[in-house]
């Protein structure tokens, strides 16, 4: 959830503006036809990569893997492949192999080059545009593998088909070195694509094993009978990737895993709920085609207040939902309201809302259709209107029958949703009494908040600090114009299973809500955020880590746009203050302390400076070294806290990001929820990774 590589010093970027040249017309300048830039082929992708993969950061880097994999996965969806291997190789290369039909290598009648070269070098080219190449595919836009080629320094495409083995190499943004050539015979069929992201495009090129595994696990759930293998060969040295079709056959001692699920979406729902307690035994499941749209839905309600809703269109994960989600929600609300009015709990005057029926729901919606339409190249939202009607009809009819055939499950589900409805009304009453619309403007800011002078949110910072001692030091050492301080008294409420009315009864949480200015719940408004840097500053000990986790849970569950907008940071105070003679250094890591002071300087449990001496040449006495260990922000004086943690020119901040919302959701469920065995197992398996300060 938190990317340590985003640790960076705050900098001010200066932009130098220039006046128009003498004689130049200010309104039009020299703007003519010659100033219109025409980008041809893959040059446009290299010039504006964000338009095609979203970002050149770590998520965009991994998007390259997904695009190549999607081609192989589409072969499996069409029934032409059942085995895909993704291999992470040395030199930041990735190799994807499938046993599909193999990309054609004969000459394309329009482009006059091989079909392979056409697919690899032309945007909007492939078997997904008309014809019978694919009845269902995820890559309708047709930019997948060609975009990967454009953003790579080297790509190797190997094709096995029609008894031959063919190869073509591309370099420096998609340029083929030569025509595709036959390099041998083969009894196999399939395609192998190996690529290396271009360092000129991607500042960080290290692929994350866990990210790749999580994505491939998800895809294996969505295609029944498909085996997906992942192998990490980055530490294996030189890999002979020409001797075998699948590198796992080499038998190298390397991390690897494989996924194969016959249960499909049922298995995915069970996996999502593994740390939660289901309120009904049977997982609902339906798979049916309606007017050319294949609809597949699985769901189960659990004892929780959060919802987990995943949507896919042609196996592409739609993070922003879309038409299929709209149809699903409409059918879910209508069907459960019908149960309520038919006497299965509640009263006839009661009505469930869309929020009520989502509470505690884990659901996966997957639709497959030929002419799928996405909003944007990254396919985060489904725009196909016909998917709404098909999903609503298929799911609504099947879920109604499910509730009739499983009366115990029906009573449990309606009972769960009825509790959510009652809690919503209670929370609304509490919210209306505390944070009713318009009240924030007149509500007095919390007394413990030392606000900043500026009223421009883009330059204002809020430091959330642990305890009055650190709060007092921070208030003294801050820049009063731009920096506000809000001290917390002890540990805040664990809100993972707390409803809004209980949360707002907590003085600490209420103070934070008022200080942020966004309100909470259905009147939350991110545009009213009073600080564009919200900085969590806790002590470097176990209690500080716990408080930080509680705050992150609160912000993730109820202030998610603050994180998505890039407004949340974690301060990185130093662990040690080191004096070498008259020079002062701060060490933020143990290895940095050893580098500056050596390994032989003892430390007491109290924050008292210990001194030692360095011996120079010929036994001469050297400079004295003293090392002080900081265990809390309150142990620093105001000047030290400013120098190390608050000064924008010198401080180190970690920006909190959410690279995988599903994984983040599951981690919060496990760490802050009621599943004690899962939490114990997590602690035991990660114990060696922890740095304890006891």
pLDDT tens profile 367-382: 998 888 888 666 788 9
pLDDT of residue 197: 95
Domain range annotation of the chain: 45-259, 265-431, 439-572+655-685
Instruction: For domain 439-572+655-685, give the fold.
Output: Rossmann fold (3.40.50)
528-551: pLDDT as tens digits: 999 999 999 988 777 888 888 889
Q: How far is CA 544 from the centre of its chain?
A: 25
State the pLDDT confidence band at 438, using cuts at 50, 70 and 90. Answer: very low
Of 82, 73, 57, 91, residue with least CA distance to 196: 91
Known catalytic residue: 240? no
pLDDT at 680 (0 to 100): 64
Q: How far apart, in whole angstroms, are the C-alpha atoms of residue 675 and residue 681? A: 10
Q: Is 466 a catalytic residue?
A: yes
Q: Is CATH 3.30.565.10 correct for 45-259?
A: yes
Q: Which of 539, 640, 643, 669 is catalytic?
A: 539
Residue 602: predicted pLDDT = 55
Express each pLDDT in 319-337 by its tens digit: 889 999 999 999 999 999 9
Q: What is the pLDDT of residue 325?
A: 96
Is 74 one of the catalytic residues? no
Q: Does pLDDT of 459 surpass 90?
A: yes
CATH of 265-431, one of 3.40.50.970, 3.30.230.10, 3.40.720.10, 1.20.970.10: 3.30.230.10
Average pLDDT, the chain: 81
Active-site residue, 541 included: yes
Tens of pLDDT, residue by residue over 497-534, are: 777 777 877 888 888 988 999 988 778 899 999 999 99
Over range 94-115, report the average pLDDT.
Answer: 91
Which one from 543, 610, 614, 663 is the annotated catalytic residue? 543
pLDDT digits (tens, 9 = 90+) for 163-212: 999 999 999 877 889 999 999 999 999 999 999 999 999 999 999 999 99
pLDDT at 677: 66
Residue 30 is predicted with a pLDDT of 47
Q: Which of 18-27, 209-218, 238-247, 430-439 has the highest mean pLDDT?
A: 209-218
pLDDT at residue 521, as a whole number: 78
Of the pLDDT bands very low, low, confident and very high (cuts 50, 70, 90), residue 422 is: confident
pLDDT at 185: 94
The pLDDT of residue 589 is above 90:
no
Helices (H), 48-193: 50-53, 58-77, 115-121, 144-150
Confidence band, pLDDT 50/70/90 cuts, at residue 141: very low
- pLDDT at position 241 is 61
- Higher per-residue confidence, 612 vs 599: 599
pLDDT at 447: 80
Mean pLDDT, residues 230-257: 86
Give first-to-last CA distance, the chain, whole Å.
26
- 401 three-state secondary structure: helix
Q: Which of 70, 232, 304, 466 is catalytic?
A: 466
The per-residue pLDDT for 270 is 93
Q: Of 541, 659, 663, 675, which one is the catalytic site residue?
A: 541
438 CB-contact burial (10 Å; exposed 0-12 / middle 13-18 / buried 19+): exposed
Q: What is the pLDDT of residues 619-678, one digit of tens each?
A: 445 678 888 888 778 788 999 999 999 999 989 999 988 765 556 666 666 666 666 666
Q: What is the pLDDT of residue 109?
A: 85
Long-range CB pairs of 123-129 (<8 Å, 24+ gap) are: 123/41, 123/42, 123/44, 123/45, 123/147, 128/74
């Amino acid at each position: 959830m938190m990317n340590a590589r985003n640790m960076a010093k705050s900098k001010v970027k200066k932009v130098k503006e220039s006046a128009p040249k003498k004689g130049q017309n200010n309104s039009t300048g020299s703007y003519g036809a010659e100033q219109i830039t025409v980008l041809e082929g893959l040059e446009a992708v290299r010039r504006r990569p964000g338009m095609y993969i979203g970002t050149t950061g770590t998520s965009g880097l991994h998007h390259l893997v997904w695009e190549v994999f999607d081609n192989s996965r589409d072969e499996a969806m069409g029934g032409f492949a059942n085995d895909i291997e993704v291999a992470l190789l040395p030199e930041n290369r990735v190799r994807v192999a499938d046993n599909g039909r193999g990309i054609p290598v004969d000459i394309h009648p329009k482009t006059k080059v091989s079909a392979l070269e056409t697919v690899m070098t032309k945007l909007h080219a492939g078997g997904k545009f008309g014809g019978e190449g694919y009845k269902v595919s995820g890559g309708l836009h047709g930019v997948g593998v060609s975009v990967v080629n454009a953003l790579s320094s080297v790509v190797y495409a190997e094709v096995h088909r029609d008894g031959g083995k063919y190869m073509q190499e591309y370099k420096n943004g998609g340029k083929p070195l030569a025509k595709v050539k036959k390099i041998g015979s083969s009894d196999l069929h399939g395609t192998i694509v190996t690529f290396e992201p271009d360092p000129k495009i991607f500042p960080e090129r290290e692929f994350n094993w866990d990210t790749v595994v999580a994505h491939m696990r998800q895809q294996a759930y969505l295609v029944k009978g498909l085996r997906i293998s992942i192998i990490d060969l980055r530490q294996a040295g030189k890999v002979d990737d020409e001797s075998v079709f699948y590198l796992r056959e080499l038998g190298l001692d390397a991390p690897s895993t494989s996924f194969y699920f016959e249960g499909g979406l049922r298995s995915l729902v069970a996996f999502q709920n593994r740390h939660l307690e289901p309120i009904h035994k049977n997982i609902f499941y339906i798979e049916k085609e309606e007017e050319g749209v294949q609809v597949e839905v699985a769901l189960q309600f659990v004892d929780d207040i959060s919802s987990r809703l995943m949507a896919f269109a042609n196996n592409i994960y739609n993070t922003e939902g879309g038409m299929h989600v709209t149809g699903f929600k409409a059918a879910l609300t209508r069907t459960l309201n019908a149960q309520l009015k038919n006497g299965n709990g509640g009263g006839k005057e009661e009505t469930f809302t869309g929020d009520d029926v989502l509470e505690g729901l884990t659901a996966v919606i997957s639709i497959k259709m030929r002419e799928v339409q996405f909003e944007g190249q990254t396919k985060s939202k489904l725009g196909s209107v016909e998917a709404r009607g098909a999903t609503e009809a298929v799911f609504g009819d099947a879920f109604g029958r499910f509730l009739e055939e499983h009366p115990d499950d029906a009573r449990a589900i309606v009972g769960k949703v009825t509790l959510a409805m009652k809690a919503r009304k209670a929370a609304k009453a509490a919210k209306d009494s505390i944070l009713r619309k318009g009240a924030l403007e007149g509500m007095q800011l919390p007394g413990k908040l030392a606000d900043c002078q500026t009223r421009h949110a883009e330059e204002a910072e809020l430091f959330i600090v642990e305890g009055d001692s650190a709060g007092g030091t921070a208030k003294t050492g801050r820049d009063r114009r731009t920096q506000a301080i809000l001290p917390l008294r002890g540990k805040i409420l664990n809100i993972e299973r707390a409803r809004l009315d209980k949360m707002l009864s907590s003085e600490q949480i209420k103070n934070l809500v008022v200080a942020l200015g966004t309100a909470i719940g259905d009147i939350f408004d991110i545009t009213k955020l009073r600080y564009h840097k919200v900085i969590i500053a806790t002590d470097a000990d176990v209690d500080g880590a716990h408080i930080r986790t509680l705050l992150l849970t609160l912000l993730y569950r109820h202030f998610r746009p603050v994180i998505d907008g890039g407004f949340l940071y974690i301060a990185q105070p130093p662990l040690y203050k080191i004096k070498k003679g008259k020079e002062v250094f701060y060490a933020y890591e143990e290895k940095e302390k050893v580098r500056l002071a050596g390994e032989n300087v003892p430390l007491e449990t109290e924050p008292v400076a210990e001194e030692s001496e360095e011996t120079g040449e010929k036994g001469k006495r050297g400079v004295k070294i003293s090392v002080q260990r900081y265990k809390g922000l309150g142990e620093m004086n105001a000047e030290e806290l400013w120098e190390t943690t608050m000064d924008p020119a010198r401080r180190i901040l970690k920006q909190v990001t959410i690279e995988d919302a599903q994984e983040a959701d599951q981690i919060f469920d496990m760490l802050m929820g009621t599943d004690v065995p899962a939490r114990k197992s997590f602690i035991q398996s990660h114990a060696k990774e922890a740095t304890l300060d006891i």
